[in-house]
Amino acid sequence: MPRELAHPDITAVTLDAVLAALADPIRREIVTQLAQGHHDQACIAFELPVSKSTSTHHFRVLREAGLITQRYEGTSILNALRCDDMDARFPGLLDAVIDAESSDRGRATTTP
């Protein structure tokens, strides 16, 4: 079978799923890297502080929430943000979160 992953139609994307997906710091890290021009990069290219299984899980959550697309390229998967779709569905939301994430870097996360 030619491997392909299911992506939700943008009209079926819920705010609940999007916010739940963005509530996790690791998933926001992925989104941030994708927003910084790391489009079409394999999952392994993101250096995340978790195991490979967990990494796969997070990418899956982002995809099922409608935030990213994933398509096969050989054995790898190329990831991309669904910027246009998200902006059509929830205008300004994704940009606001990405901006917030940038300005939140180096600040209190666990209150040191």
Partner DNA sequence: TTCGTTGTACGACTTTCTTCGTTGTACGGT
Partner DNA sequence: ACCGTACAACGAAGAAAGTCGTACAACGAA
Q: What residues line the site for its own copies (CB under 8 A)?
A: 12, 14-16, 18-20, 22-23, 25, 28, 90-93, 95-97, 99-101, 103-104, 107-109, 111
Nearer to its own copies among residue 5 and residue 91 (C-beta): 91
Residue 96 touches DNA, criterion: CB under 7 A: no
- Least Cα distance to 93 among 83, 79, 81 occurs for 83
| Residue 13 · residue 65 · CB < 8 Å | yes
Q: What is the CA radius of gyration of the chain?
A: 14
For DNA, which is the closer residue by CB, 78 or 93?
A: 78
Q: Does 34 bind DNA (CB under 7 A)?
A: no
From 30-38, 58-66, 81-89, 103-111, give the range in contact with DNA by CB under 7 A: 58-66
Using CA atoms, how far apart are residues 112 and 109, in angstroms rounded to an integer? 8
What Cα–Cα distance (Å) separates residue 2 from each residue in 7, 62, 72, 74, 105?
A: 16, 22, 9, 11, 40
Site residues for DNA per CB under 7 A: 1-3, 5, 20, 23-24, 26-27, 42-44, 50-54, 56-61, 70, 72, 74-77
